Amino acid sequence: MNSPGVAKVDCIVVGGGPAGLTAAIYLARYHLSVVVFDDESSRAATIPISHNHAGFPDGVSGVDLLMRMRSQAENYGAKIERKKVTGLRICDGVFNVVFNSGSLRARSVLLATGVANHRPAMPDASHDEAVAHGLLRYCPVCDGFEITDKRVGVIGAGTNAFREAVFLRSYTSDLTLVSVAGKHGLSDEEAARLNEHGIAVEPGPITSIEVGAEQITITTPLRSLHFSAVYPALGSDVRSGLVSAIGAALTPEGCVVVDTHQRTTIPGLYAAGDVVIGLDQISHAMGQAGVAATTIRNDLCEITTLVRP
């Protein structure tokens, strides 16, 4: 086994969110050398407070959770680099991970880069303020409970927006789907079902989104709509470009294809978290990471017997 300071480590984890950090904790506790590359773009960091994560009865912020996980990983010897990985190569079965100030070789790589949400058209400062105050929300599975019986808007178009609105209907009866463009893009069946559930549909386009102290206002050419919370249903980008560039198989949606042990189609390359198909939840990502880390440990053991000196 190698230590993090030498030219080749046992595993490089790309991504410093819940999946990547959980894997780092496991790997370090397996006495493997592990380096985490964290470009600080994890969606978890934007969570104001989560009441959905087990073990925190009073809730936990994404920033606090990640801080705790980083500390735990480092306590066991994992090294965390606050750098962005820009390239990945394979030569003679060894991975070369390229970042903005150099490169590092590894026997294995775990991709835990997640996804990036498509944001509504609004200034970054206003967007971040709205998220921090729970006026703009991206995960109804995580926080739908918090908007129970409140006035809620969904912005988007087509099937994605339809599904989000129907999902949220179990939390509130005061629900409006606002089209981002002039057309809502709904099928006749989808429009009929929204009507059946009492979900209003407002035509777009959205001309402005204003953040207030306790409400968020969406303006269209026809009217201004005031909501306690708004869910953008605008889709996301899967951050799988690093591994697609070296030939890893992807789903049509861009997720990394893995087996039941989180192995990709490239030997020595693994993936966990939102970058693979599954429920986009912290707990699910952590579970996948535990499986991936254990698989990495066992697969490396097939190559070289892992014994304590």
Do 112 and 14 share a structural domain? yes
pLDDT in tens, 106-130: 999 999 999 999 999 999 999 999 9
Computed over every residue of the chain, the mean pLDDT equals: 93
Boundary (domain end) residue, out of 233, 260, 291: 233
| Residue 123 domain flag | yes
Do 164 and 58 share a structural domain? no
Give the per-residue pLDDT at 5.
39
Do 220 and 73 share a structural domain? no
Do 271 and 210 share a structural domain? no
Do 229 and 123 share a structural domain? yes
* Structural domain count, the chain: 2
In SS3 terms, the chain reads as CCCCCCCEEEEEEECCCHHHHHHHHHHHHCCCCEEEECCCCCHHHHCCCECCCCCCCCCECHHHHHHHHHHHHHHCCCEEECCCEEEEEEECCEEEEEECCEEEEEEEEEECCCEEECCCCCCHHHHHHHHHCCCECCCHHHHHHHHCCCCEEEEECHHHHHHHHHHHCCCCCCEEEEECCCCCCCCHHHHHHHHHCCCEEECCCCCEEEECCCCEEEECCCCEEEECEEEEECCEEECCHHHHCCCCCECCCCCECCCCCCECCCCCEEECCCCECCCCCHHHHHHHHHHHHHHHHHHHHHHCCCCCC
Do 207 and 156 share a structural domain? yes
pLDDT in tens, 126-143: 999 999 999 999 999 999
Do 196 and 67 share a structural domain? no
pLDDT in tens, 268-287: 999 999 999 999 999 999 99
| Residue 2 domain flag | no
Instruction: Give this prediction's pTM.
Output: 0.92
Do 79 and 108 share a structural domain? yes
Can you give the residue range of the structural domain that contains 280?
Answer: 8-116+236-303
**CATH number of the domain to which 176 belongs:** 3.50.50.60
| Residue 3 domain flag | no
Boundary (domain end) residue, out of 189, 217, 233: 233
pLDDT in tens, 26-83: 999 999 999 999 999 999 999 999 999 999 999 999 999 999 999 999 999 999 999 9
Boundary (domain end) residue, out of 233, 249, 283: 233
pLDDT in tens, 220-250: 999 999 999 999 999 999 999 999 999 999 9
Do 218 and 130 share a structural domain? yes
Do 240 and 99 share a structural domain? yes
| Residue 66 domain flag | yes
| Residue 191 domain flag | yes
Do 148 and 61 share a structural domain? no
pLDDT band at 179 (very low <50, low <70, confident <90, very high): very high
| Residue 309 domain flag | no
